[in-house]
Amino acid sequence: MASKSKFQAIRGTRDLLPPETALWNRVEETAHSVFATFGFGEIRPPVFEPTELFARAVGGETDIVSKEMYTFKDYDISQELQGLWSLVFSARNPNTYDETIELAKLTGRLIAVARSGLESGQLSRTPENLRAIDQIELYSSKLPGLANQGPRETGPAAASLRDAVTDLDLGDELSLRPEATASVCRSYIEHNMQQLPQPVKLYYMGPMFRRERPQKGRYRQFYQIGAEVLGGSDAPGIDAEVIEMVMTFFDRLGLAGVELDINSIGHNAPDCRPAYVQKLKAALEQVKDKLGADSRRRIETNPLRVLDSKLEHEQAIIATLPRIVDHLCADCAAHYAAVKRQLELRGVFFKENWRLVRGLDYYMRTTFEITAKGLGSQNAVCGGGRYDGLVELLGGPATKGIGFAIGEDRLILSLQENGKGAAPQGRDVYIAWMGERAYATAVRAAKDLRNVGFSVELPPTELKFGKALERADKLGSRYALILGDNEVSEGSWTLKTLADGTQQKFTEPELLEFLKRYP
Ligand code: HAM
């Protein structure tokens, strides 16, 4: 007999559990409060968007879009249409007269429902869909005439019918967000935020999804805390302030071994990045034979990404390649110099890293990455940069933009590795009660204590005092409030301090006073 398999979280996803979630909450609360001091407001975009948004923003050729997105069709159509579509799509080639007629009937129903879907707007009236329905009708109408002639004739007609059915586009193609910059830009455009006082400063936190190979610090559902500044200005002070904000946040959390790398990757004009990429490509061609397969392939597809290589034997070769800082146009060079001055002004320490190119297509000029201790190979806790022109690329007005995203999972991991994890959450008061009357008092006491903010554990069934105290101890409670019928009738309650076993008697108001003084 097949054994019932247990359900488990999908590979690359996991449950975040107490007490660790207390640390997640602390991190998120700190982000809310630090970002608010820099004038940022929170945005909560949806977790899925049209695939096309990410393809256009992040870049169709990037790993994120070409390999790692969770993409699905969103069937905004009736169950009937969906069901008929599946039946026709998965129908076997008909073998007999009856089977052929049956398939023709089924297809006839599909056509009728699809046409009414076009009328009601559930099915998009695209040229592709109109053509697909005509084709389905054509092949379906041939079936009855072929019904008597056997599978040799009906088979090819059924195959063509299935092809036409596949062409019917039942819904939008959506993807779980692999990042949120694209969503924030989409939202800026959708809500005409260019009419608000500029720049618009937004931050977000939440899950992102990438189908990467899971390992320490790398998940398929992971969490980011990010921020974006959008508006008309690309003043270097904006770049520096955004970076200062992340560093302040990390500092507030006590993150250890924080290192900030910065670079400028210029902009997409003939006298700037493209000219450098040509030079880089030429230099790479010269050393091609000494490079590994991945880097060799990237010479053609994206030479800048060769600089990202972690392969030991490629490092000495890469060190000899031309550097983008020496090939920036005058404007980009001036901007980069000003960003560095602005960082110094704010007392933000940084290291210039000419090899810092980011894996998303929208960047220009300033790019940065922050690493922290205790993370092994996945040690980037934050990545970001400037992306002027992205809003325009997505159909909005000409807009400058810069932002970053912190990998919250990695941030938490690094805090834990360095002794900044959350302590197990105990209870303030465990109420050990015995007897019906005592229970009514215990319920009221629990309510009063919780109302003033104490965490209280009230066992739902009666326990012997010994057992109750044992449980109180296991839960890490600070105090046990002992309520028996005697205590209730005398109006004098016993409070036991679990750490040293001492007991004191209080009236109800005295107890509240005491706990407020010694919480
Ligand atoms: P990103 O470099 O792709 O940039 O991701 C930012 C951070 O998210 C990384 O540094 C890392 O900490 C974390 N991260 C990425 N993938 C994973 C994963 N599979 N598991 C765990 N953590 C991960 C962006 O996403 C850009 N949208 C950042 C940005 C905002 N640039 C401008 N504005």
Q: Give the pLDDT score at 420.
A: 83
371, 261 in Cβ contact below 8 A?
Answer: yes
Other beta carbons within 10 angstroms of residue 105's beta carbon come to 13
Residue 404: both structure tokens together? 């970053």
Ligand 1 interacting residues, C-beta cut-off 6 A: 179, 181, 210, 212, 217-219, 222, 224, 226, 228, 360, 380-385, 403-405, 407, 409-410
Residue with CA closest to ligand 1 atom 16: 218
Strands (DSSP E) contained in 65-147 are 71-74
SS3 342: helix
Q: Give the pLDDT score at 423.
A: 72
324, 266 in Cβ contact below 8 A?
Answer: yes
Residue-wise DSSP of 5-30: PPP-PPTT-----TTHHHHHHHHHHH
Among the atoms of ligand 1, which is closest to the Cα of residue 360?
Answer: 3
Residue with CA closest to ligand 1 atom 2: 383
Q: Give the Cα separation of 423 and 147 in Å (integer).
A: 74
Tens digit of each residue's pLDDT (9 = 90 or more) over 133-147: 999 999 999 999 998
Tens digit of each residue's pLDDT (9 = 90 or more) over 258-267: 999 999 999 9
Question: How far from the centroid of its chain's Cα atoms is residue 461's Cα?
Answer: 42
Q: Is 40 exposed, middle or buried (0-12, 13-18, 19+ CB in 10 A)?
A: buried
Ligand 1 centroid vs 28 CA: distance in angstroms?
17
* CA separation, residue 202 to residues 34, 43, 45, 46, 223 (Å): 13, 6, 11, 15, 17
At residue 468, does pLDDT exceed 80? yes
Residue in 177, 265, 410 to alter for ligand 1 test, most ligand atoms within 8 A of Cβ: 410
Give the single-character DSSP code of 215: B
Ligand 1 centroid vs 384 CA: distance in angstroms?
8
At residue 425, does pLDDT exceed 80? no
Other beta carbons within 10 angstroms of residue 423's beta carbon come to 9
Ligand 1 centroid vs 270 CA: distance in angstroms?
29
Residue with CA closest to ligand 1 atom 15: 407
Ranking 118-132, 219-233, 312-326, 400-414 by mean pLDDT, the lowest is: 118-132
Residue in 222, 229, 406 to alter for ligand 1 test, most ligand atoms within 8 A of Cβ: 222
**Higher confidence at residue 419 or residue 250?**
250
Tens digit of each residue's pLDDT (9 = 90 or more) over 153-175: 888 989 999 999 989 888 778 99
Ligand 1 centroid vs 316 CA: distance in angstroms?
28
At residue 75, does pLDDT exceed 80? no
Q: Give the Cα separation of 411 and 222 in Å (integer).
A: 11
Mean pLDDT for the chain overall: 94
Ligand 1 centroid vs 367 CA: distance in angstroms?
13
Q: Give the Cα separation of 401 and 201 in Å (integer).
A: 10
- % of the chain surpassing 90 pLDDT: 80
2, 196 in Cβ contact below 8 A?
Answer: no
Tens digit of each residue's pLDDT (9 = 90 or more) over 351-368: 999 999 998 999 999 999
Ligand 1 centroid vs 468 CA: distance in angstroms?
48
Q: Give the Cα separation of 34 and 142 in Å (integer).
A: 69
Residue with CA closest to ligand 1 atom 20: 218
Residue in 27, 69, 208 to alter for ligand 1 test, most ligand atoms within 8 A of Cβ: 208
Ligand 1 centroid vs 264 CA: distance in angstroms?
18
Closest CA to 403 of 350, 373, 371, 360: 360
Residue with CA closest to ligand 1 atom 12: 407
Q: Give the pLDDT score at 255.
A: 96
The arithmetic mean of pLDDT across residues 420-449, rounded, is 90
At residue 77, does pLDDT exceed 80? no
**Higher confidence at residue 425 or residue 105?**
105
Among the atoms of ligand 1, which is closest to the Cα of residue 64?
Answer: 3
Tens digit of each residue's pLDDT (9 = 90 or more) over 282-313: 999 999 999 999 999 999 988 999 998 989 99
Parallel, antiparallel, or unpaired for β 364-371 and 380-386? antiparallel
The arithmetic mean of pLDDT across residues 336-352, rounded, is 98
**Distant-in-sequence, close-in-space partners of 314: CB < 8 Å, separation ≥ 6:** 290, 291, 292, 295, 306
Q: Give the pLDDT score at 270.
A: 95
At 365, the amino acid letter reads R
Tens digit of each residue's pLDDT (9 = 90 or more) over 483-499: 998 889 999 999 999 99
Give the single-character DSSP code of 39: T
The arithmetic mean of pLDDT across residues 467-474, rounded, is 95
Ligand 1 centroid vs 245 CA: distance in angstroms?
17
Residue 157: both structure tokens together? 């007609």
Residue with CA closest to ligand 1 atom 4: 383
Ligand 1 centroid vs 405 CA: distance in angstroms?
6
Ligand 1 centroid vs 137 CA: distance in angstroms?
48
Residue with tokens 């935020």: 193
Ligand 1 centroid vs 406 CA: distance in angstroms?
6
- Give me the long-range contacts of 96-103 (CB less than 8 A, separation at least 24): 97/147, 97/148, 100/143, 100/144, 100/146, 100/147, 100/154, 101/143, 101/144, 101/147, 103/143, 103/158, 103/161
244, 342 in Cβ contact below 8 A?
Answer: no
The arithmetic mean of pLDDT across residues 423-451, rounded, is 92
**Quick one: pLDDT band at residue 3, thresholds 50, 70, 90?**
low
Residue 86: both structure tokens together? 């599946």
Q: Give the Cα separation of 429 and 260 in Å (integer).
A: 45
Tens digit of each residue's pLDDT (9 = 90 or more) over 163-208: 999 898 887 789 999 999 999 999 999 999 999 999 999 999 999 9
Give the single-character DSSP code of 197: S
Residue 148: both structure tokens together? 């008597």
Q: Give the Cα separation of 254 and 417 in Å (integer).
A: 12
Q: Give the pLDDT score at 89.
A: 87
At residue 76, does pLDDT exceed 90? no
